[in-house]
């Protein structure tokens, strides 16, 4: 019996494909890896670090949100942790506080740096000096800035009440009153962080061609009309990007209320969502609850992040 | 000219070495300590109730070795290791020291979750459930008996019971505390009050606080916490003092929205706003009041005796300027303490070695932490009323030895010691309940127009929700 032979027509038909065959591609890949071995080795280090310290915790956090650990046994509990979180009396209060912080922080933290940037931009001299002055608070360690404000706000010995007392005005409770605590936190946070935003606005303002202002002036536009018809449209994109970035950052606020009001504030008026996550994890040992609340926050922020990415792409194009 | 390091022939070797190094670094960084690096050798009995065979070779990692800054305590630790090694030459004690408190809840919780706690680790009495939930500690019931811990029968059963769950023992105590009223004797005298008779009722606390605040210069008469769950903790202690409770005996409902709860909050509100005897700065947490009283800016606050050690050692206070009275009300007082647990997964020999060391260092009258004469020689604080977990003859002998070697005026604690008050443990889900009660405390201390009834009923509703949500 003769061995079967394959005629040319019997050969399996290779599906048509574009580019080099797989072997060649593999070889090209191996060659490319060899050629850039040092670069790849550095890359592996970075990838390992990200994998261990960023990606793994993220995956673990996601899993934890649906698990419960009791008696050393981890069990799958489905949506129980979310149910727990939604029924926590502090949950809605924390969200209300966080949204209030975000709204106030946007109002102050968005508007104040923009106005300051416009004012600095109008100066013909000493711009560098003014930029430095505005940026200085950012260079202070956050804890030092917060402690400084804690002293300013102190109802007994604080600077602010000292000034009010000097002016024969009624003293305020600042951080110790449910009506002013969050606003006081926002003022401190705005002061600490406005330097960076101001510089970005300033860069955007300086990118606006001078001819546009000149044309507006020729048309008889005053300062406000110039801002409305030239400055804002020209910086629209950067304004939108910063707005989104600030929403994402302010919704994760933790440091300022944690240090200024010991986390919760009077009657829980400064408890934020991230502080509540911290409490679940480290005060109540409820990792499932912490992960579930983290997930809720993540979903919300992911929406803003997607918008941010889209806007960034638009700005690149 | 290119360096030879970058010649093509070397490139691959260099990169491979680099990759290996990075991989090893990453693995080392992610590694945790071995839970059981020595299985024990050279003898050892399979009977858990038998003491450790002196020939057994074991290495123990041990929490809470005093840091270098505490030179005298560290010297005593080393002396004790040396003495212990005379009997057990093959047991190596590897102490781990922490600069601040031995246990910081956030770090401890993370270590427990990551299983990176030492073989013998330090916990607060209230940590037991958390440790068990994370399968962190060995059941040592079979190992602890009159042979391995000879003074076992003289330890207050209330203390050992806190370390038990379902009849199984998970820890050995090192100290305990009950809360009382810390006073600044200097300010008492300046205000014309008798520091040997601290107030025992809230009415008297209010009267004395007013007198002390009357000294002016920013001095407060009485201080209390209202943040980081410690406001709730003190509210609970104050409820206990007046015979109340924060949860029902079955632990299912809030129990503080009653006349006692109202009395606690109304009294604080009156002291803060009507008398102005609590200072303007509120939302205080642990450490704030200690600083105030150490700088003679505060007359009284609820504390445990070991707060004084912190005040003297860390804040420069002097023992003779302070004293303690019983908790106002005197019906019951909140108690707590610290202990050592043994990491889950430890070999029987390791458990035995840990118990032998703990017994020598912390549970032998006249030795280790109870060697008061040595502590006096080393100029350490001797004479504080606690730890005080002995009963019967040992209790009397220990108190006598402590008094004989006292390095502070022990009579300042007479009002506290002479009025022993029944200790009561913290409720289950304590931290979550305290978080809610912080709001009630901060409410009356920061809002002049706070409605006590509303604060209590809101807190009651929220605590019920917390208890239902388990």
Q: Is the pLDDT of residue A19 over 70?
A: no
Q: Which residues of B touch A71 (CB under 8 A)?
A: 132-133, 135
Cα–Cα distances in angstroms (integers) from residue B23 to residues A38, A47, B13, in the given order: 14, 10, 15
Residue B300 · residue B184 · CB < 8 Å: yes
Chain B residue with Cα closest to A42: B19
Best of A262, A271, A272 to disrupt the B interface (most B CBs within 10 Å) is A262
Is B447 part of the contact surface with chain A (CB cutoff 8 Å)? yes
Q: Would you call A261 and B227 a contact, using CB atoms and an 8 Å cutoff?
A: yes
DSSP class of residue A202 equals H
pLDDT of residue B5: 32
Chain B residue with Cα closest to A84: B469
Q: Is the pLDDT of residue A6 over 80?
A: no
pLDDT of residue A18: 61
Please determine, for the modelled complex, whether the ipTM score is greater than 0.85. Answer: no
Best of B280, B288, B444 to disrupt the A interface (most A CBs within 10 Å) is B280
Is A5 part of the contact surface with chain B (CB cutoff 8 Å)? no
Q: Would you call A70 and B133 a contact, using CB atoms and an 8 Å cutoff?
A: yes
- pLDDT tens-digit series, residues A123-145: 777 788 888 888 888 888 888 88
Round to the nearest angstrom and report the end-to-end CA distance of chain B. Answer: 71
Split at pLDDT 50, 70, 90, the class of A7 is: very low
Report how far residue A220's alpha carbon sits from residue A198's, in angstroms, rounded to the nearest whole number: 28
pLDDT of residue B20: 41
pLDDT of residue B6: 30
CA of A70 to nearest chain B CA: how many angstroms apart? Answer: 4
**What does the pLDDT profile of chain B (470 residues) look like in tens digits?**
333 333 333 333 333 443 344 343 333 333 334 444 444 444 456 788 888 888 889 999 999 999 888 889 999 999 999 999 999 999 999 999 887 678 777 788 888 888 889 999 999 988 898 899 888 999 999 999 999 999 999 999 888 999 999 999 999 999 999 999 999 999 999 999 999 999 999 999 999 999 999 999 999 999 999 998 899 999 999 999 999 999 999 889 999 999 999 999 999 999 999 999 999 889 999 999 999 999 999 999 999 988 998 898 889 899 999 999 999 999 999 998 899 999 999 999 999 999 999 999 999 999 999 999 999 999 888 888 888 889 999 999 998 999 999 988 989 999 998 888 888 988 888 888 999 999 999 999 999 999 999 999 999 999 998 888 76
The answer for residues whose C-beta is within 8 angstroms of residue B267's C-beta and 6 or more apart is B202, B205, B206
Is A268 part of the contact surface with chain B (CB cutoff 8 Å)? yes
Average pLDDT, chain A: 83
Q: Would you call A71 and B135 a contact, using CB atoms and an 8 Å cutoff?
A: yes
Chain A residue with Cα closest to B110: A282
Q: List, as one string, the DSSP characters of B2-47.
A: --GGGSHHHHHHHHHHHHHHHHHHHHHHH----S-S---BS---S-
Q: List, as one string, the DSSP characters of A211-275.
A: HHHHHHHHTT--HHHHIIIIIHHHTHHHHHHHHHHHHHHHTT--HHHHHHSTTT-GGGTT--HHH
pLDDT of residue B306: 84
- pLDDT tens-digit series, residues A48-66: 999 999 999 889 889 989 9
Q: Would you call A88 and B431 a contact, using CB atoms and an 8 Å cutoff?
A: no
pLDDT of residue B22: 39
pLDDT of residue B25: 39
Cα–Cα distances in angstroms (integers) from residue B131 to residues A273, B31, B59, B122, B142, in the given order: 26, 21, 23, 11, 19
Residue B151 · residue B364 · CB < 8 Å: yes
Q: Would you call B18 and A38 a contact, using CB atoms and an 8 Å cutoff?
A: yes
What would the two tokens of residue B101 be? 């408190």
Residue B334: enclosing H or E segment and its boundaries? strand B333-342
pLDDT of residue A316: 61
pLDDT of residue A127: 80
Candidates B451, B434, B425, B442; CA nearest to B129 is: B425
The answer for residues whose C-beta is within 8 angstroms of residue B297's C-beta and 6 or more apart is B218, B219, B220, B279
pLDDT of residue A90: 86
What would the two tokens of residue B58 be? 């074991």
Strand partners, B336: B177
Best of B283, B429, B430, B462 to disrupt the A interface (most A CBs within 10 Å) is B283
- Stated pTM of the model: 0.79
Q: Would you call A71 and B132 a contact, using CB atoms and an 8 Å cutoff?
A: yes
CA of A157 to nearest chain B CA: how many angstroms apart? Answer: 9
């Amino acid at each position: 019996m003769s061995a079967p032979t394959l005629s040319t027509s019997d050969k399996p038909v290779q599906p048509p494909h574009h580019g080099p065959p797989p072997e060649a591609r593999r070889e090209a890949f191996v060659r490319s890896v060899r050629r850039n071995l040092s670069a790849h080795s550095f890359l592996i280090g970075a990838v390992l670090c990200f994998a261990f310290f960023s990606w793994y915790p993220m995956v673990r956090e996601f899993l934890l949100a649906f698990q419960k650990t009791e008696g050393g046994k981890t069990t799958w509990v489905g949506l129980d942790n979310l149910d727990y979180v939604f029924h926590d009396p502090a949950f809605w209060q924390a969200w209300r506080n966080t949204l209030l912080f975000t709204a106030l922080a946007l109002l102050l933290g968005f508007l104040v740096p923009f106005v300051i940037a416009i004012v600095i931009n109008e100066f013909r001299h000493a711009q560098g000096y003014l930029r430095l002055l505005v940026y200085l608070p950012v260079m202070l360690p956050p804890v030092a800035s917060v402690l400084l404000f804690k002293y300013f706000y102190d109802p007994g010995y604080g600077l602010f009440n000292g000034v009010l007392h000097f002016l024969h005005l009624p003293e305020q409770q600042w951080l110790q009153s449910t009506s002013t605590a969050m606003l006081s936190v926002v003022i401190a946070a705005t002061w600490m962080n406005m330097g960076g935003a101001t510089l970005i606005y300033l860069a955007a303002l300086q990118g606006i061609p001078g001819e546009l202002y000149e044309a507006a002036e020729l048309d008889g536009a005053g300062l406000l009309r110039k801002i409305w018809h030239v400055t804002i449209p020209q910086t629209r994109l950067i304004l939108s990007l910063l707005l989104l970035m600030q929403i994402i950052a302010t919704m994760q606020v933790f440091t300022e209320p944690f240090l200024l009001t010991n986390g919760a504030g009077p009657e829980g008026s400064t408890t934020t969502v991230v502080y509540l996550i911290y409490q679940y994890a480290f005060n109540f040992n409820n990792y499932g609850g912490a992960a579930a609340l983290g997930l809720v926050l993540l979903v919300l922020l992911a929406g803003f992040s997607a918008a941010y990415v889209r806007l960034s792409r638009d700005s690149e194009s | 000219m290119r360096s030879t390091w970058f010649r093509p022939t070397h490139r691959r070797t260099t990169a491979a070495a680099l990759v290996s190094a990075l991989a090893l670094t990453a693995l080392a960084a992610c590694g945790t300590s071995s839970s059981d690096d020595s299985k024990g050798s050279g003898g050892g009995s399979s009977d858990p109730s038998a003491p450790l065979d002196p020939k057994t070779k074991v290495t123990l990692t041990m929490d809470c070795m005093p840091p270098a800054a505490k030179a005298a305590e560290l010297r005593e630790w080393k002396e004790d290791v040396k003495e212990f090694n005379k009997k057990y030459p093959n047991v190596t004690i590897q102490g781990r020291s922490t600069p601040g408190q031995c246990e910081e809840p956030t770090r401890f919780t993370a270590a427990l979750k990551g299983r990176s706690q030492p073989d013998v680790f330090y916990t607060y009495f209230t940590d037991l459930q958390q440790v068990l939930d994370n399968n962190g500690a060995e059941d040592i019931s079979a190992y602890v008996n009159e042979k391995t811990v000879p003074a076992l029968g003289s330890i207050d059963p209330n203390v050992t019971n806190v370390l038990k769950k379902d009849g199984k023992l998970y820890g050995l105590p090192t100290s305990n505390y009950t809360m009382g009223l810390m006073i600044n004797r200097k300010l008492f005298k300046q205000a014309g009050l008798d520091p040997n008779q601290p107030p025992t009722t809230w009415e008297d606390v209010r009267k004395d606080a007013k007198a002390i605040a009357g000294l002016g210069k920013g001095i407060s008469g009485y201080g209390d916490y209202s943040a980081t769950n410690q406001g709730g903790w003190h509210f609970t202690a104050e409820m206990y003092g007046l015979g109340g409770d924060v949860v029902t005996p079955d632990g299912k409902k809030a129990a503080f929205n009653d006349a006692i709860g109202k009395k606690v909050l109304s009294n604080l509100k009156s002291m803060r706003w009507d008398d102005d005897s609590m200072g303007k700065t509120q939302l205080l947490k642990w450490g704030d009041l200690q600083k105030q009283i150490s700088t003679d800016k505060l007359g009284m606050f609820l504390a445990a005796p070991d707060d004084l050690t912190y005040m003297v050692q860390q804040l420069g206070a002097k023992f003779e300027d302070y004293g303690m009275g019983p908790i106002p009300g005197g019906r019951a007082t909140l108690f707590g303490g610290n202990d050592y647990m043994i990491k889950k997964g430890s070999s029987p020999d390791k458990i035995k070695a840990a118990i032998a060391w703990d017994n020598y260092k912390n549970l032998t009258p006249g030795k280790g932490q109870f060697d008061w004469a040595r502590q006096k020689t080393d100029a350490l604080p001797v004479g504080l009323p606690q730890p005080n977990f002995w009963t019967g003859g040992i209790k009397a002998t220990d108190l006598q030895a402590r008094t004989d070697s006292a390095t502070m005026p022990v009579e300042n604690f007479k009002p506290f010691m002479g009025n022993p008050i029944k200790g009561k443990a913290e409720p289950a889900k304590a931290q979550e309940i305290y978080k809610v009660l912080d709001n009630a405390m901060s409410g009356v201390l920061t809002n002049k127009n706070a409605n006590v009834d509303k604060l209590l009923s809101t807190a009651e509703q929220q605590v019920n929700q917390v208890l239902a949500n388990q």
